[in-house]
Structure 1
Amino acid sequence: MGLLFLGWTIFRIDFNSHQSASDSLYFILLGLIIFLISYLPRIYAIKNQNRIIRMEMRQRYFQLTGKAFYEKENKLSPSQIIALRFAGDDELLALIDKTIQENTTPKEIKKSVSNWQADHHRV
């Protein structure tokens, strides 16, 4: 809805007079605000889920090794950590080491997972 309103205001821009130009700019600002307000909850949900994924990976790594994940976590990008979470426990440690050594892309990580752990609750 916000994107539709923004598009409508851009389509109706009128700079023929000072009054119509200022009205057009106000409507564009209002359209941007409405669009951002409708978009922000999704951004917050995704950021929150990414934090939860990091916590989940820290817990899994600790359960498998008895060591903290922070040292390895600092060598991985957030997208790599998210891709690694799909690996089963039996292959996770090897994939973490391979990812750090070869700087594997998230797409390559997902292709190399043989024991896929699906996530059906992602936003």
Structure 2
Amino acid sequence: MKLRQTAPWPIPPEAQASRQSKAGYHQVKYDWQTENWHYEARWHERVPGAKLISRPSWHLERVRPGKGYGPAAAPRIAQTLVGKSWLPTRQVRYWARRYNDGVATEREVQLLRLAHPAPKTDHDD
């Protein structure tokens, strides 16, 4: 099974893949654009020293660029897929800071786990 097929959501064939070596683990990013959104799906191996997500996982974010002037002015929007809902990325990062500080609620921990699903296997279909 190809890596992109293990994602919990479809990654289009035209998505650009890039591989990165991080501190002690590998990551693969897929980038694509659809309907004014820029999507970035990331898969990474187990991250050494990670406390909460201690297995390979996926993560999906999207950004709609803002426009700062004129009648069509609009703010930049950044969202992270958490389970089946798109939530503000800044909120997800806030929960991660709270987790690292040891003050996250059980619900925040649950949502952080939902934002980092495990890869699908052949048996998940």
- Do the structures match in fold with TM over 0.5? no
More helix by proportion, 1 or 2?
A: 1
TM-score of the superposition, structure 2-length normalised? 0.24
TM-score of the superposition, structure 1-length normalised? 0.24
More strand by proportion, 1 or 2?
A: 2
Structure with max Cα Rg: 1
